[in-house]
Amino acid sequence: MIRLTLEDGMNRLEDGIAKALMIMDGYTASALFSSEEYMKYYDCVYLLCVQPPPNDYSWQLHERFKKALEESIFLKVLPSLSDKNGAPLLSELRRLWANYKSMVKCLGGFYLYLDQRFSDRETAAPLSEISVCCFHDLVCTAFLQKFIDAAILLITQDRNGQPTDQTFLQSLSNFFTEVGGKTRPFCYNKFEEAILVDTGNYYSQVAPEWLLNYSSAEYASKAEQCLREERGRACKILHPPGVEKLLQIVHWKLVGEITNQLIEKQNAENLDASRYKVSFKSLLKPQPSLPLPSRKFCLATRK
């Protein structure tokens, strides 16, 4: 078997890693590497892994893979996100996350044998898991609140009828799901919680204004329209349980908390049009499939 020293092997591999990092700038892997180059770097990793101890350098390769990911984040991702807010921030996150996944796929091709080497060892996570964890720990930790603030800003603009690209919201929700998976739901949960609290706050302010400025029939019509619009928006950015929670909050704020005032307003208007009464009664009808907001939530939306 051909012997390869760690120094020589790493020197060969560094050229491939440096080129792979260029994918973060928008280059495609196919433009950077030929099939022969892929095999050259794969063979290098293979030789460094299969040599008998003490010349099995699997762990050193494992650490270099993780370090390459961290370099891409520190050099390309964090600086590019730090000076942005709102829609530009979410747009840049979407671009960088796509480039990062492409880069990881490329590096994974070089390190394919290493993944197989560690497949039966509990001490080393799969390379795909390492790549997601690095992005989660380094990017989400630093920018989670900025991502959430940007999402809430876009939602508010959309509610107020301002032009909004909802694909940014959808891509952010997908991003939180991807980086969190089933074992790290923290980012998505904070994202959902913030949207629910903001929704409660928004409609706590809207309901009294509408009650003052519109007839009961107009109020019912606007409330029904809001419920439709909120469902359409929420279905794009929240998991199904989150959609149900949000719709219950909207219904609670627009109807549940002020039911008596709505009924008094309708009685004072003495409306005879049956179509108004039917519409209004259907709006007041409770939604049994959805739980009432918790006391903790109600207190949070009043802060």
Instruction: Give the lowest-confidence range in 76-80, 82-86, 123-127, 204-208.
Output: 123-127
Q: Can you tell me the distance from the alpha carbon of 93 to that of 85, in angstroms, rounded to the nearest whole number?
A: 11
User: What's the confidence (pLDDT) of residue 215?
Assistant: 86
CATH superfamily, region 185-303: Cullin Repeats (1.20.1310.10)
Please compute, for residue 62, the number of CA atoms within 13 A of its CA located in the half-sphere on the CB side.
Answer: 19
- The per-residue pLDDT for 279 is 53
What mean pLDDT comes out for the span 92-102?
97
14: pLDDT strictly greater than 90? yes
**Amino acid 119: pLDDT:** 61
Local confidence band at 178 (pLDDT 50, 70, 90 cut-offs)? very high
Q: Where are the domains of the chain?
A: 1-143, 185-303
H or E stretch at 192: helix 186-213
In the predicted model, what is the mean pLDDT of residues 247-273? 81
Residue bearing the bigger pLDDT, 276 or 74: 74
Distances from the Cα of 175 to the Cαs of 27, 88, 169, 172, in angstroms?
A: 22, 16, 10, 5
pLDDT over threshold 80, residue 181: no
Distance CA 92, CA 80 (A): 8
As a whole number, mean pLDDT of residues 233-247 equals 94
Q: Report, as an integer, the average pLDDT of 242-252.
A: 93
Q: What is the pLDDT of residue 184?
A: 83
> Mean pLDDT over residues 114-131, rounded?
76
Pick the CATH number of 1-143 from 1.25.40.10, 1.10.150.120, 1.20.1310.10, 3.40.140.10: 1.20.1310.10
Q: Which of 16, 49, 44, 41 is nearest to 118 (CA)?
A: 49
pLDDT reading at 277 higher than 60: no
Do you know the residue count of the chain? 303
Q: Name every residue whose Cβ is closer than 8 Å to that of residue 153 and which is 6 or more positions away in sequence.
A: 86
> Over 50: is that where the pLDDT of 289 sits?
no
C-beta of residue 269 within 8 angstroms of C-beta of residue 215 = yes
Q: So what's the pLDDT on residue 273? A: 44
Residue 63: CB atoms within 10 Å: 11
- Tally Cβ neighbours within 10 Å of residue 129: 12
In this prediction, residue 271 carries a pLDDT of 56
